[in-house]
Amino acid sequence: MPAARGLTLLGLVLLSWATACSQPASPNLLLITVDTLRADRLSCYGGPGGVGREICALGESGTRFQWAFSTAASTAPAMTSMLTSLYLPQHEVWQDMRSKLDPKFETLASELKKGGYQTAAFVSNPVLWKERQLDRGFDHYDDEMSRREPGRPNLRERAAAATTDAALAWAREATGPWFIWVHYQDPHGPYLPPGATLPEEIEGSRKLRVLNDASGFRGIPIYQKLADLRGLQTYEEMYLAEIRYADRQIGRLLRSLDSLGPRPGVLLTADHGEAFGEDAFYMAHGHSPALELVRVPMLWRPPAGGPSGGLVRESVSLVDVAPTLLHLAGLPIPGSFRGRSLPLDGSEGPARVIFTEQMRFVAAILEGRYYTRERHPGSPNWNGGAWSHFYPDLPPRVAELGRGPALPPYVPAAEADTSEIEPPLEAFLGAWPLRIGNWAREEVSDELRAQLHELGYLLEPTPPESDSPGGVDEEAEPR
């Protein structure tokens, strides 16, 4: 018996040693973000069969988070939250392109770099340009964009194939351990994948009018217009075509990186979703923290020997991304970070409140209950005027997230118990009031002003005559 016990102990020691050896202390890490990717349009989140095949495969061998949330319904604040593990009122990076990250904040890339990682980023949305100062900590920050956006020729972007090529070219020369962030612009509108031709209008598709602004309120945003197409279902199909195009490039990226050396740990998520008729908004985002806009996919594929947990229903946030990747790299998590490491192994943590917002509105999620209301009910916009149709009147409302994956219906907040979630929401608003930075009063060049106006990213006073659907509105912050 003693000899058998000794052999058993030796076996356990050898198994422990083998497990430790199969899980590198500093694994290569890949972070993929997909612009405007609505979670419930992926097959693994209840969407049409086969849509997002490569994306969904990540969770099949790893972890898929049923209820992941962005911190904002627009790109720049959401991606800044992801990199800093801070909410918008803390990092104060708005969608306005003059807004920049303060150098006092630690970032995911800067901490990984200090820990010995080679770091690179490849971004494809013009709002993530270097001037944002989001490049802090990256050895290489590639924001080269040569493709002109259809409908807004002043704006440049980069298609997914070119973004993948750039990332792979860098990775082939990297010695590791490395961290790569790839931000794909697709499926952000206009919904026309490279090489695709315009489809025929889907028979019976609900017809929408084309607006002369970017709001999407009760019509097609002007920049989304594709020739003479007016059918809602037609645009929805083109959106799915964009997802399929980006998905193929993600698959190519993963297979190529896997062939270069040890399989990297991969975390994939999105900056925000897209509305297709909810709250009377079409092919648009940025108007509120509604569920279709702030619920995002989040999937994890571990490196060899890394943690995996199947399906996780705990509510998680983009602020959890940075602490998660630092934990995987075996590096300390800065005290300034507001998120916590994701339960990649499926073991859920203690209850907490997470927050998401969009200018006029704020939302909180606690233990499967989503609650949203005006930030300061009855208050004017930041210019002291009335809120325009870019930020419509929406009632306080609650939704029970349940088991998913479908989005749940709302119920009026007056008909639900918000006694547990209202106090932490008020505390959050009190601790970090929403402020417009000094950059909002800066003078800008005519060229930059034209770009900001086309994007809808210029936070300036709203002309009185534009406060109706279809009018031009420079108050907007929607993309």
230 and 90, same structural domain?
yes
- Range of weakest confidence among 17-31, 154-168, 282-296, 370-384: 17-31
Of 329, 350, 371, the residue that ends a domain is 350
402 and 257, same structural domain?
no
457 and 330, same structural domain?
no
Residue 475 lies in a domain: no
318 and 446, same structural domain?
no
Instruction: Give 127-139 pLDDT, tens digit per residue.
Output: 898 889 999 999 9
One-letter identity of residue 114: K
Of 318, 350, 382, the residue that ends a domain is 350
392 and 341, same structural domain?
no
Residue 4 lies in a domain: no
User: How is the beta sheet containing 29-34 ordered, strand by strand?
Assistant: 140-142, 118-122, 178-184, 29-34, 265-270, 298-301, 63-65, 310-312
Both structure tokens of 179: 């961290």
- Range of weakest confidence among 9-13, 61-65, 116-120: 9-13
Report the candidate in 390, 368, 310, 376 with the shortest Cα–Cα distance to residue 343: 310
Both structure tokens of 345: 């192994």
Find the CATH number of the domain harbouring 194: 3.40.720.10
370 and 334, same structural domain?
no
Q: How many domains does the chain have?
A: 2
37 and 151, same structural domain?
yes
Residue 474 lies in a domain: no
445 and 370, same structural domain?
yes
Residue 247 lies in a domain: yes
Residue 403 lies in a domain: yes
Residue 69 banded pLDDT, cuts 50, 70, 90: very high
Residue 2 lies in a domain: no
340 and 381, same structural domain?
no
- Average pLDDT for residues 166-171, to the nearest whole number? 98
Of 324, 350, 376, the residue that ends a domain is 350
Q: Is the pLDDT of residue 6 over 50?
A: no
pLDDT of residue 75: 95
The CA distance from 144 to 20, in Å, is: 40
287 and 394, same structural domain?
no
The CA distance from 323 to 326, in Å, is: 5
Could you count the other beta carbons within 10 Å of the beta carbon of residue 422? 15
291 and 423, same structural domain?
no
Cβ partners under 8 Å of residue 271, min gap 6? 33, 34, 35, 36, 70, 74, 75, 78, 79, 82, 183, 296
pLDDT of residue 24: 58
Residue 15 lies in a domain: no
154 and 107, same structural domain?
yes
Instruction: Give 273-296 pLDDT, tens digit per residue.
Output: 999 999 999 999 999 999 999 999
Q: Which domain holds residue 455?
A: 361-466
Instruction: Give 184-223 pLDDT, tens digit per residue.
Output: 999 999 999 999 999 999 999 999 999 999 999 999 999 9
Are the CB atoms for 162 and 147 separated by under 8 Å?
A: yes
Residue 382 banded pLDDT, cuts 50, 70, 90: confident
**By percentage, how much of the chain surpasses pLDDT 70?**
85
Cβ partners under 8 Å of residue 440, min gap 6? 96, 98, 382, 459, 460
pLDDT of residue 450: 64
- Average pLDDT for residues 313-340, to the nearest whole number? 97
The CA distance from 69 to 421, in Å, is: 17
pLDDT of residue 454: 58
Mean pLDDT of the chain: 87
| 3-state secondary structure (DSSP) of residue 128 | helix
Residue 437 banded pLDDT, cuts 50, 70, 90: low
pTM attached to this predicted model:
0.89
Residue 19 lies in a domain: no
Report the candidate in 108, 151, 132 with the shortest Cα–Cα distance to residue 325: 108
